């Protein structure tokens, strides 16, 4: 059976098991419908808060997952909340979740250390554009967004939980260059590593078990 992966949350493609590590959650999805038959799809999905489940501190975060092996592990703009030592260890834990030939993709803020001046110019331009939109009232700023969320009846409990975990309002973000991630993936035991996408200072790195 051909195995494919897509960088999106939700149900997995047919016959594919995926684990999705996103902002504030760990999810595992499965679609076991045989491709040649038009039988009803059978899917399972489990969601957990990685900070409550210990993703930032212990391998025990894997215990609630419904399977011991996956074809793909996908994560986007989530792991920069972890310190270097924990992220390096997590890469090895994610490798252990994968079947032979399985794929890990991590998309995050990963500047290209071979283009330091260009990266700085791109970041400065993006910052100027955002600040102009904030000043014009086109969109709320980061702090304004959280104020709106805290005033929302449904989101207020989640905002309170965030403040409990990060009393200062945010994690100490750590955004190493893409070369660090590639080295860490290699050290974690992936047989192939590389950059599969880049947009400015953001990138997606992949590791194949």
What letter does residue 21 receive in the DSSP assignment? E
In the chain, what are the domains?
A: 17-111+175-208 (3.40.50.150), 116-165 (no CATH)
Q: Which of 203, 208, 180 is nearest to 193 (CA)?
A: 208
Q: pLDDT band at residue 55, thresholds of 50, 70 and 90?
A: low
pLDDT at residue 174 in the model: 76
pTM: 0.73
pLDDT, tens digit (0-9, with 9 covering 90-100), for 136-190: 999 999 889 989 999 999 999 999 988 887 787 666 667 899 999 999 999 999 9
Give the percent of the chain with pLDDT over 70: 69
Predicted confidence at residue 8, as pLDDT, reads 37
3-state helix, strand, coil in the chain (%, to 5): 35, 25, 40
């Amino acid at each position: 059976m051909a195995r494919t992966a897509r960088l999106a949350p939700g149900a997995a493609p047919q016959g594919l098991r995926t684990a999705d590590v996103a902002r504030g959650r760990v999810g595992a999805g499965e679609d076991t419908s045989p491709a040649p038959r038009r039988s009803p799809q059978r899917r399972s999905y489990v969601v957990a808060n990685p900070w409550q489940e210990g993703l930032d501190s212990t391998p025990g975060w894997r215990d609630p997952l419904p399977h011991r092996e996956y074809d793909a592990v996908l994560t986007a703009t989530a792991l920069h909340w972890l310190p270097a030592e924990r992220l390096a260890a997590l890469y090895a834990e994610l490798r252990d979740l994968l079947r032979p030939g399985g794929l890990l993709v991590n998309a995050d803020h990963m500047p290209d250390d071979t283009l330091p001046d260009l990266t700085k110019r791109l970041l400065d331009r993006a910052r100027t554009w955002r600040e102009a939109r904030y000043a014009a009232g086109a969109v709320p700023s980061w702090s304004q967004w959280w104020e709106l969320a805290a005033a929302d009846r449904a989101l207020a409990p989640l905002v309170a939980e965030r403040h409990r975990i990060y009393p200062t309002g945010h994690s100490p973000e750590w955004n190493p260059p893409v070369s660090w991630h590639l080295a860490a993936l290699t050290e974690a035991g992936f047989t192939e590593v590389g950059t599969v996408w880049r947009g400015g200072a953001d990138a997606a790195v992949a590791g194949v078990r």
